[in-house]
Structure 1
Amino acid sequence: MNKQNNNEAPMPSDTLPECWWDNDRMNALFAPFRNKNVNSEDWNSKLQFWTKFITDWGISNNICSFSIVDLKKAFKRDGRAPGCIQTVVEEMFKSGELQTMDRFMQTPQETWSGWAIDLLVKKPIYWSYTKMKETVVALTDDNTKFVNIKTVKCVSEKILNSINEDYVNKLINFHQLTTLVQSLNITEENLRISLHYLRCTGKISIKENQTTDNTDEDKLLIKFAAKNEKAIPVNDFDISIYALERNEEKLIKMIEELEGKKDAVIADAKAYLAKGMKPLAKNCLRKKLTLEKCIEKRSNILDNVQMLLSQVKETEYQTKVVDSYKKGINAFKSTYKEAGLTEDNVNEVINDVQEVLEMHDEIQSSLGQNLSQTIDLELEEELAELLAAEAEASKPATPEKVLPVEENEDFDKKHEELERRLRALHMNLPSPPKNTPSPQQFGS
């Protein structure tokens, strides 16, 4: 590998492909494409190299558009231009990686109806007409401008990252934007291409003021959207704030200039006094008084503009607060409506919950009962009977009960009375015969 100094390198040396310093390899890459059928793998590899090289070159230098002439000039090596650029551009154009400038810069439709007509009616007719025209005319003209889509995306992302949050959702003119992205070292043409892409992707809104009372700086107004949000179209409120801020800037600049002139007049008056030229010194003082009156008038106007601007911004903030309240209320209403939440429904649900909890407590109470309680009671009764029987068996024998004297006397009386009554009972029965009767006596 033979490394050499190359002051005309298309990119910084640390970003160049390693093979850039290899003469043999670059000679092969600079040569025109051979027949693809001979070696398709080598043909595709060479195309991929140049496609990536052109894209990286555009991203590194913030170049979104170029022609075949521009590429041949940019990629010169040792005074030799690559002989394969024509084929590379053709293939990138066919794959959609490149678009012609005219096609890319078509103004997008901002309304649904305009978009629908553009998509369903105009574009098919336009595409069928222009596709053949682009293929035949654009690729045969080395000065035709092409836009690299990948490069535009990367450069646009760089621009978004360069915008401070103070400029989000706020109108700025094109001149102010060029100041904000000055570090990118991007040309006006490439900046406008990137802005068009950002507009098409909804990252910015653009307002073009073609009225005669606007300066060149104020004819293109840009509003950047917040991160991960869609840009809000420019409205009259945005333009009013922009106009007040521009007037504020102009008034401040005018007052500064008048103050500078006043200081210069005072210096002249002192110089004339030093030279003894009092009439000229008085004339300078008159100019100073005139300038002071102008400064006072401008200052009063500036105070009014600043006060009005402050009130407008406060109104904007209050409007946003009210809008946020409305959105919050609508969100709550929508949530309640979707969920079917009403006071009656909530009370009904609360009652159902209480009933379910009561049922749950009853179930838990039932499940918590001791199933062996009845058996335990029976066992305890039986055990008590056994203990009582054992206690009865272990007691000593008790003597027969002796009746008291009074009870014995009553018993004797009753016994005597019974005997007496038995004796009183008698029956008159015949006396038994002395002889035993014979059988014949029974028969007669």
Structure 2
Amino acid sequence: MVDTKDKKLLYPPCWSDDTRMDVLMAPFRLKSVNPENYVSKMLFWQEMITKYCEFKGSPSFNKRELQVAFQRKNKTPYGLDNVLEEMRNLRKIRTRTEYMYDPENSWTGWAINSFVKKPLWWGVKKVWTAGDDDDALLDYIQLEIVKKMCADLAIVLQKHSGKLLHYDEVKAIISDAMNLNDDGLHICLHTLFCQKKVVLEFVVENNERKIHLVKIPGKTDQNPEITETDRAFHNLQMTQKNLTVQLESLETDIKATDDKARQYLKENKRQLAKTYLRKKHLLEKNYEKRSIALNNVETLLSSVDEAQNNGVILETYKIGSKALQKVLNDSGLKYDNVDEIISDVKEAVDSHDEIQDTIASAHLNEKFDDGDLERELREILGEPEQKTAAAAEVVTGGNNNIQNIEVTDEELLAMLEGLEVEHDSPTKSSSDPNANETV
């Protein structure tokens, strides 16, 4: 728990203003005289009560506490009675008795309990006077604060979901997590218990009912309760802790006994040395027994934990199997149906492929000669028409297939230049230009 002894309540800046504080400390005047001042003064003290509860670490308070906490220069606020009455009318506070009787009780139900079930206790209008000791010690619960503290506590405890803890363990868990004293923790746990967010087991000590065990239900717990399995597991954990503490103590005793034996041996007090050696051996045997017991307990804890995990896994399998079966049934997915549908799909695909092949093999476009297209393009560009040589005829093999070869003018000239005249061929006389050419 957070200790508030060394902490101081943070007062607002106006706390050092004597003029302002004299007005706030004074009794309330009629609201009709100065409504603005009345409302601001009422809100100031209500906020101070909220701050005090947060500082204290508990949603519970009484008027006497407030008088001490809000004392300034030996003056106490005279208007606390009006503030408490106003907060009660606005349903911001409830008496501790009413709240603990039923934290989740609606305001209608509270009124029935107050006026019908307990007429003798609440049958006469309360008189709020500063001198009434009973009223000064009457505990109230600030509902806004208890709601916030319970929400924060639930978040902290959620990290230990599914565990059964001793009350002292819960105190240790929240000690560094939030500002909550013993009284505040008890109120919040009681509230969460009524909301079925935790499970509590109580014990009676010295005619006082105290919280003994606290179980934080898991997410899958429909009806959370403390089972025999929870108790057995908790007992094993407590035994493990006790054995660990005992072993640590025995180790210290063994070392101390060994040191004593050595000391007496150095002092030549052999009999005393033997006595401490015997004690050391007894401690070592005791240590060995407890060590074996601790090992057995840890083995059991491991087995229980593994069994719980296996149970969770098996339950998950079961849920998953049911969910899958439901999906299959709802969607009509069965082997015969699926096989028939796949066969239909294959037939449809084959038909589609045949149609595609038929469309692709149909030559619907008119063919055009590339040479004609080239000439038309040259005409569009205004280029001169290229002259080509006559095509040579090539006869292949023993068949009648003829291949046309197109030769350009440049290629034809190059072929002519490469021709040679044989020596026996008739030549034209250089002196007779008109000589006839002999074949």
Same fold (TM over 0.5): yes
Which of the pair is proportionally richer in helix? 1
Which residue of 2 is the match for residue 400 of structure 1? none
Unaligned runs of 5+ in 2: 130-134, 367-439
Report if the CA contact (8 A) 1:108-1:200 is conserved. Answer: yes
Alignment-derived partner of residue 223 in structure 1: 215
Q: Deviations over 1:146-186 (max 9, x none)?
A: 01111112333443455583x33212211122222223453
| 1:11 aligned partner | 9
Work out whether residues 223 and 231 of structure 1, in 8 Å CA contact, stay in contact via their aligned partners in 2.
no
Residues 1:203 and 1:164: Cα distance change in structure 2 (over 3 Å): closer
Using a 3 Å threshold, how does the CA distance of structure 1 residues 350 and 35 change in structure 2: closer, same or farther?
farther
Aligned partners of 2:58 and 2:183 also within 8 Å: no
1:181 lines up with 2:174 in the alignment: yes
8 Å CA contact 1:8–1:76 kept in 2: the answer is no
**Are residue 295 (structure 1) and residue 287 (structure 2) matched?**
yes
Residue 179 of structure 1 aligns to a residue in which SS?
helix
Task: Tell me by how many angstroms 1:274 deviates.
Answer: 1.8
Q: Percent identity?
A: 29
226, 239, 242: which one pairs with 1:234?
A: 226
Moved more, 127-136 or 226-235: 226-235
Instruction: Confirm whether residue 105 of structure 1 aligns to residue 100 of structure 2.
Output: yes
Aligned match for 2:188, one of 167, 190, 194: 194
Residue 61 of structure 1, aligned match among 53, 56, 63: 56
Unaligned 5+ segments in structure 1 are: 1-6, 110-117, 378-444
- The answer (yes or no) to whether the contact 1:29–1:46 under 8 Å persists in 2 is yes
Query: Judging changes above 3 Å, is the alpha-carbon distance between structure 1 residues 227 and 137 closer, same or farther for their aligned structure 2 residues?
Result: farther
What residue is the counterpart of 2:72 in the other structure?
77
- 1:82 Cα deviation (Å)? 0.9
CA distance in 2, matches of 1:265, 1:86: 67
Q: In the alignment, residue 23 of structure 1 is paired with which amino acid?
A: D
Shift of 1:11: 2.1
Is 2:150 the partner of 1:156?
yes
- Which of 177, 193, 197 is the equivalent residue of 1:203? 197
Structure 2 partner of 1:395: none
Matching residue within 31, 35, 51 for 2:26: 31
Correspondence for 1:91:
86
Aligned partners of 2:158 and 2:216 also within 8 Å: no
Partner of 2:163: 170
For 2:264, the equivalent position in structure 1 comes to: 272
Normalised to the residue count of structure 1, the TM-score between the two structures is 0.66
Q: Could you say what the CA RMSD is over the residues aligned between the two structures, in angstroms?
A: 4.0
* CA distance in structure 2 between the aligned counterparts of 1:38 and 1:345, rounded to whole angstroms: 86
Which residue type is aligned with residue 81 of structure 1? Answer: T
Instruction: Kindly provide the amino acid, as one letter, of the partner of residue 57 in structure 2.
Output: N
1:313 Cα deviation after fit? 0.4
Q: How far off its partner does 1:200 sit?
A: 2.9
**Number of aligned positions between the proteins:** 344
- CA deviations on 1:112-135 (whole Å, 9 max, x unpaired) are xxxxxx99xx97753433676358
Q: Closer, same or farther in 2 for the Cα pair 1:343/1:59, shift >3 Å?
A: farther
User: Which of 26, 30, 38 is equivalent to 1:43?
Assistant: 38
Could you give the per-residue CA deviations for residues 387-431 of structure 1, whole angstroms, max 9, x where no partner exists? xxxxxxxxxxxxxxxxxxxxxxxxxxxxxxxxxxxxxxxxxxxxx
How much has 1:89 moved relative to structure 2? 0.9
Q: Distance in 2 between matches of 1:159 and 1:228?
A: 20
Q: Judge conservation of contact 1:174–1:222 (CA < 8 Å) in 2.
A: yes
Q: Give the alignment of 1:412-431 within 5 angstroms.
A: none
Cα distance in structure 1, aligned partners of 2:94 and 2:311: 43
SS across alignment from 1:105? helix
Q: For residue 199 of structure 2, give the secondary structure of its aligned residue in structure 1.
A: strand
